[in-house]
Structures are given as C-alpha cells and as structure tokens.
Amino acid sequence: MTSPDAADGGPQQTDRPGRVKRLVESRPVQLLVAVFTAAALIVGFTNDMYGLFGGEPEPPAQPSALDVERASLLLAQEWPFQKAMSLRPVGEAVYAERIGWRAMLSIANTSATPMVVEDVETLFPQAGGNALRRVDRAQTVTVYPDRGDWIRVNGMGDSEQGDARVERAQPLPLILQPGQRILIEYEQAFEFWSGEQRARFEVADRSGLVEAIDHIVPMNRLDDGSLQCPIGVPFETVVRTRNGEIRKTVPYALLVAGCAIITGGAGEERMRTGDDPLGDGFPSLPS
C-alpha cells in the first residue's frame, strides 16, 4: 500500500502488518493479554463450580411450614350436629346484643408433623352496611374423636352430658397429631352492626335475629311467612396455627333460632353426606 506523498515528493511504502505484529509482540501488551487470559480461565472455572454468574437454574424453593399446613389441613362443618345461632342475654335482661354460636367442625391433619391450632373463626359476609362481627372467642374446645362419640354424649341426660363435655374440653391451643381427625365444638360470640349502629334484640321476639341475619345471608321465605335456614352457604373460615393463617372456604348449614329447617328426602341426605368432604369419602390418613 502507498501513502500520500511525503516531504521528499516520493511515494512511501507502509508496513501496517508489520506494525501490527510488532505492537502485539510488545512486552506491555503481552502482559495484558496474559492477565485477561488468566482472568477468563478463573471466571470460567468458578462459574462452572459454583454458578456465581448466572446461567444455571435456581434450585426450587422449599415450601414453608405454613404452606405444608395449608395443603394438609382438611376442614368441614358437621351439618347434622350443628347448633343454632341464638341470643345471649345477660341474666334476665329483656334485650341482648351478644349472639352466640357453637360451631361443629371436622378438622384433620394429613401431614407427617403436629399442627398447633390456636383459633378458628368463621368470616361472615357484609351486605348493605350490615355485618356480623366476632367479639369473643372460646378459650377451650370440646373434642369428640368421632361422630359416634358426639351422638352418645348428646343422648345423655343434662347432668351426665355436662360432665361428659367437661371431660372432653381441651384448652387452646389444640395440637393435631399427624393423621388425626376429630370433631370440635367451638363457641364464638358476635354482634350485629348496621352501619355504625350496634343492634339490640328483644329476647322475647324470636324473629328479630332471623330477620337481621337475612340481610347478610338471604333466606327463602316460606308460604307461612317464616324464613328457611340456609344450607350449603360457603363461608371463609380462618384457622390460625402457630405458623400463620390458613383460609378455607367451607359450606355451612347456618341454623338461627327462629328460622325453619326442612328435612327429609334428598335434602336430608345431602345435608348428612353430600356436602361433607370429611364424611364417608374421607381419604385414608397416614398411620
């Protein structure tokens, strides 16, 4: 290749390949190339050994203790044995603000580790500014190992039944052992609020509470004007364990003192088995 004319007026030949060659072979550049080569080898080895610079998939995250409990907890309302929601007057008071409800639940732990249950709460929906708010929770639960035991206890006389309930009462927290399934009777107290106003119910008026609950959980009105207790209504139920909250949507038979229950035929069969996931179709648990 020729270069533009030089000062002496003649073309000059340039040796660009030679210059490049001499540049690469200079000692500073040789040292730099050696350093970069060594660094590349070290980075490649480290990345292969430890995956520090990406490119390798992250190991799958291990489920938390709460995730395991959420997957292994089974919960259902025991429809045939459910008690009615009713007013809780203080002494001989004419009016009452507290509403008591003793829920009957089947609960099971299908995991391989104990589960510590600290609280169970049914969350009722809000509708048109009306709400049923929990104001008190039980400190104990009545535990039955199976349905047959509940039937035996509730077939006793008042005095014997009271003693049997005391024997089966367990303070919270309740420890569910691996593979254990039990029935629990759990007392809660609520108040009915409409907007910012807390409702007071006349104790002698059996329809007052039913009409109020109808605003939250709509009921069918029968030919005689009475309201039919709703069956199969899904409510979110919160089970609080030592590891956190577990929320389950559970179908309930919401019995309220004063509403009508229609039993018999397909309805009764559905109430006893069809909507109870822990009933006859309960899966085998680990021993």
Residue 67 has pLDDT above 90, yes or no: yes
Residues 257 and 177 in one domain: yes
Report pLDDT digits (tens) over 240-264: 999 999 999 988 889 999 999 876 5
> Which single residue is written with the structure tokens 């390949």?
17
Cα separation of the two ends of the chain? 90
Domain span at residue 251 reads 65-274
135 shares its domain with 83: yes
Domain boundary among 59, 79, 111: 59
In the predicted structure, residue 166 carries a pLDDT above the cut 50:
yes
Residues 6+ apart with CB under 8 A from 64: 243
Look at the alpha carbons of 256, 274, 116, 151 in this order and tell me if their dihedral is positive or negative.
positive
pLDDT band at 148 (very low <50, low <70, confident <90, very high): confident
Residue 197 belongs to some domain of the structure: yes
20 and 151 housed in the same domain: no
Task: Say what the pLDDT of residue 253 is.
Answer: 86
- For residues 68 and 57, the answer to whether their CB atoms sit within 8 Å is no
**Are 136 and 260 in a shared domain?**
yes
Same domain, 190 and 124: yes
Residues 168 and 102 in one domain: yes
Point out the domain boundary residue: 24, 42, 59. Answer: 59
Does 214 lie in the same domain as 102? Answer: yes
Q: How many CB atoms lie within 10 A of CB 173?
A: 15
In terms of domains, do 85 and 159 share one? Answer: yes
- Written as one string, the DSSP assignment of 14-66 is --HHHHHHHHHTSHHHHHHHHHHHHHHHHHHHHHHHH-TTS-SPPPPPPPPHH
Q: How many domains does the chain divide into?
A: 2
Is 287 part of any domain?
A: no
Does residue 189 contact residue 90 with C-beta atoms inside 8 Å?
A: no
| Same domain flag for 55 and 170 | no
What is the average pLDDT score of the chain? 79
The span from the CA of 178 to the CA of 88, in Å, is 37
Q: How far apart, in whole angstroms, are the C-alpha atoms of residue 112 and residue 216?
A: 39
Please name the residue that has the structure tokens 């089974």: 74
Task: Give 187-203 pLDDT, tens digit per residue.
Answer: 999 999 999 999 999 99
In a domain, 76, yes or no: yes
Q: Give yes or no: residues 74 and 123 share one domain.
A: yes
pLDDT at 123 over 70: yes
Which band of pLDDT confidence, cut at 50, 70 and 90, is reported for residue 274? very low
The whole-number average pLDDT for the span 115-120 is 96
- With a cut of 80, say whether residue 156 has pLDDT above it: yes
Q: Is the confidence at residue 180, as pLDDT, over 80? A: yes
Is-above-0.75 flag for pTM?
no
Q: Please, which contacts does 279-282 make with residues 24 or more away whose CB atoms are closer than 8 Å?
A: 279/76, 282/74, 282/108, 282/181
The per-residue pLDDT for range 95-114, each reduced to its tens digit, is: 999 999 999 999 999 999 99
Residue 232 domain-assigned (yes or no) = yes
Q: How confident is the model at residue 265 (pLDDT cuts 50, 70, 90)?
A: low
**pLDDT greater than 60 at residue 46:** no
List all residues 6 or more positions away from 162 whose beta carbon is below 8 Å from its beta carbon. Answer: none
pLDDT band at 10 (very low <50, low <70, confident <90, very high): very low
> Measuring CA to CA, which residue among 73, 280, 276 is closest to residue 178?
73
Q: Is the same domain home to 32 and 110?
A: no
d(CA 258, CA 205): 9
Whether 163 maps to a domain, the answer reads yes
Mean per-residue pLDDT for 177-182?
A: 92
What value, to the nearest 5°, has the Cα angle with vertex 135 and ends 132 and 140?
120
Q: What is the mean pLDDT of residues 51-77?
A: 79
Q: Same structural domain for residues 47 and 147?
A: no
